[in-house]
Amino acid sequence: MKKIFTTIFLLLTSAFMYWSCKKENLDLLPLGETEVSFYNSESDFNRSVVGIYAKLSDFYWYNGGSGLHGIWHLPGDDITMVGSDAYEIFTGLNATNGGLNEYYKQAYQLIDRANTTMQKINASDARIYSTPGLKTQHLAEAAFLRGYMHFCLYNFFGTAPVRTQRVDTPDEAQLRLSNSTGTQLLDQAITDFQTAAAGLPIAYPATQAGRITANTANGFLGKALVFRASYNQTAADFQAAITAFNKISGASLVANYGDNFSALTENNAESLFEFQATQPGFDNVWLNNDFESSGSGSTSAYWGFYENHWSRFGAPPFIATDKYVAAFEVGDPRTQFSFDTTGKAIKKYVLTDQKSQSGVASVNNPRILRYADVLLLKAEAILESGATAEAIALINAVRTRARGAGTVPADYSTSEADQAKIFAWIAKERLAELGGEEGHRWFDLKRWHAAGKINLGAWDWSSASTAGVQFDITKNLLYPLPANELDLNPNMQQNPGY
């Protein structure tokens, strides 16, 4: 009996070893998706593109009370705080600042996603894409989002690396990029916006609301060209910006100014690009989220800094400066959508209760680019050519919408020929129309300083939260590059003054 059991054991062992050593049984598929198994269908590539969009959530979510919003809201002279903040008062900022390190990291992660997606699309089998134009659209969406990050990095850091290729190997990772120079980041953004504008549709089905369109790309292309013209004093860029703006089709100013800040009127005719905060799933504001199917993290945007919400845990709210309030004429209907009756608490995006189920964050989309912004940038570009009446007409278009059926703000006279005076009208209108939104004011002040139209070294910062603010134009025009980047990359040099 013992011999029989021994023989059976040896036979089973031999059979198991033979079976387990066969090549087809050794090459087991991984439990989850891998890069090799993923990029094999149009659906896979669409998910990859959506994954780039999803990275925008890391800039707008609650982040457990440590949101990044002050980075773009506080440096200008439109928003202040009851207390002080380093982003506003230009002191205490250094390379170890957690928010700046996080913003920089997320920006390059988004860029890497775009580069990976573009690489995989370009290397894909010709038989994968069967829907006409979809491959070009996907490449254009990825290019736009990469360009948008380069545009933001230029405005905040100035000299961050330009990254257009995916890192595939450890050896490539060792070849760290160095500081960009001049407007190289902006140049790359313009190139990407041009690619996007040529490859995107004007509109999508309602089920795909919020995707980047040709209007989005042309709007940001024109904006980036106006910015580069300001920094480099290039008349050709102003003209190219006008050309890009003229390609925008079907956009218009909505009749009600307040519709630009309501969750009930998102993705309207005026909105050219907005972060889609109204996502399906359970909104857990304590966890970040890439819009995965499980919905395990944040799917919303955060506006508690305007509301003085309890989730700030006692941190002071963001409020309007005296300069922002003074930009409006008495009776301007925009004030009711911009501040409360005290003239301090900002009401944009928080006019009504538009919270997610969390009760902390909002389903209200941040409007990143509005057509009103485009019209005022176009007025600025046209003014540079000397066409004063045409520039004033664009300013008046924004003011006409603002007053609705009333009389204030009244139109400016199109017979005015003083270009400096007309520029002052544009600057004031941009503050009134766009204050408290997406850092427009800070970006404007920086580029106007570079163009010699204003002097930030002698600017009135008296409405900032701390008296006696000293703005150092050799330092405070740029944020410090993050310490993590400098530690990892010996090719990088810190921005001046830090």
CATH, residue 315: 1.25.40.390
In the 3-class helix/strand/coil scheme, how is the chain assigned residue by residue?
CHHHHHHHHHHHHHHHHHHHHCHHHHCCCCCCCCHHHHCCCHHHHHHHHHHHHHCCHHHHCCHHHCCCCHHHHCCCCCEEECCCCHHHHCCCCCCCCHHHHHHHHHHHHHHHHHHHHHHHHHCCCCCCCCCCCHHHHHHHHHHHHHHHHHHHHHHHCCCCCCCCCCCCCHHHHHCCCCCCCCCHHHHHHHHHHHHHHHHCCCCCCHHHCCCCCHHHHHHHHHHHHHHHHHHHCCHHHHHHHHHHHHCCCCCCCCCCHHHHHCHHHCCCCCEEEECCCCCCCCCCCCCCCCCCCCCCCCCCECCHHHHCCHHHCCCCCEEECHHHHHCCCCCCCCHHHHECCCCCEECCCCCCCCECCCCCCECCCCEEEEHHHHHHHHHHHHHHCCCHHHHHHHHHHHHHHHHCCCCCCCCCCCCCCCHHHHHHHHHHHHHHHHCCCCCHHHHHHHHHHHCCCCCHHHCCCCCCCCCCCCCCCCCCCCCCCCHHHHHHCCCCCCCCCC
Q: What is the pLDDT of residue 11?
A: 46
Q: What is the pLDDT of residue 2?
A: 46
Q: Is residue 460 situated within a structural domain? A: no
Q: What is the pLDDT of residue 28?
A: 54
pTM for this structure?
0.92
Tens digit of each residue's pLDDT (9 = 90 or more) over 139-193: 999 999 999 999 999 999 999 999 999 987 776 666 778 999 999 999 999 999 9
Tens digit of each residue's pLDDT (9 = 90 or more) over 411-452: 999 999 999 999 999 999 999 999 999 999 999 999 999 999
Tens digit of each residue's pLDDT (9 = 90 or more) over 38-64: 899 999 999 999 999 999 999 999 988
Q: Is residue 24 situated within a structural domain? A: no
How many domains does the chain contain in total?
1
Q: Is residue 465 situated within a structural domain? A: no
Q: Is residue 12 situated within a structural domain? A: no
Q: Is residue 110 situated within a structural domain? A: yes
**Structural domain span for residue 375:** 39-454
Stronger pLDDT, 340 or 376, i.e. the higher one: 376
Q: What is the pLDDT of residue 292?
A: 61
Q: Is residue 113 situated within a structural domain? A: yes
Q: Is residue 244 situated within a structural domain? A: yes
Q: Is residue 486 situated within a structural domain? A: no
Tell me the mean pLDDT in the region 331-335: 97
Residue 8 scores a pLDDT above 50? no
